[in-house]
């Protein structure tokens, strides 16, 4: 049985000109795509199966990320159903030269594990072993419906 810590992934994408809108900031759709990709990786690490996006809770965009900065995506499973994994996602703006970060976007996604035929398949129980696991789970549950 995996823990939230076991499923934690952090990834980065540098905001290039082809990622930006006419305000020279990243398109929200690009951030959403990156969050979906990294979230699926956390879900697959948890389920040991292919996972597909089933739902996206409210997604909150708090501030823009300018071209040249880095988007850091943090992702982990915080809850599970019979065939689903709930994944907490946070995107932050990171300044490449200093590492300074500020949260820009938050959401919770639901992924469903599927077998080779695309049929939903069972997932393991989520185990909570450490203080970090408890904190991650609480943050995920607080996110539900709030983005």
Is 120 in contact with 114 (CB distance < 8 Å)? yes
Alpha helices in the chain (DSSP H): 4-7, 28-47, 131-143
Mind listing the pLDDT tens digit for each residue in 65-104? 999 999 999 999 999 999 999 999 999 999 999 999 999 9
Per cent of the chain over pLDDT 90 is 94
The yes-or-no verdict on residue 32 having pLDDT over 70 is yes
Q: Is 42 helix (H, G, I), strand (E, B) or coil?
A: helix
How large is the average pLDDT for residues 30-55? 98
Is 60 in contact with 107 (CB distance < 8 Å)? yes
Whether CATH 3.10.129.10 fits 4-143: yes
Mind listing the pLDDT tens digit for each residue in 2-18? 999 999 999 999 999 99
Of 145, 24, 11, 29, nearest in space to 90 by CA: 11
State the number of CA atoms in the 13 A half-sphere of 136 facing the CB: 26
Neighbours of 18 (CB within 10 A): 8
Domain boundaries, the chain: 4-143
How large is the average pLDDT for residues 134-144? 92
């Amino acid at each position: 049985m995996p823990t939230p810590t076991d499923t934690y992934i952090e990834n980065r994408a540098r905001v290039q000109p082809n990622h930006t809108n006419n305000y020279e900031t990243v398109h929200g759709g690009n951030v959403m795509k990156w969050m979906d990709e990294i979230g699926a990786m956390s879900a697959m690490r948890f389920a040991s199966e292919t996972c597909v996006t089933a739902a996206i809770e409210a997604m909150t965009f708090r501030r823009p990320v300018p071209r040249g900065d880095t988007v850091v995506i943090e992702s982990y499973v915080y809850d599970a159903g019979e065939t689903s994994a709930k994944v907490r996602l946070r995107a932050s703006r990171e300044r490449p030269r200093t590492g300074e970060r500020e949260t820009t976007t938050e959401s919770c996604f639901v992924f469903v594990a599927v077998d080779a035929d695309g049929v939903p398949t069972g997932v393991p129980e989520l185990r909570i072993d450490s203080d970090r696991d408890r904190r991650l789970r609480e943050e995920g549950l607080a996110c539900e419906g709030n983005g």
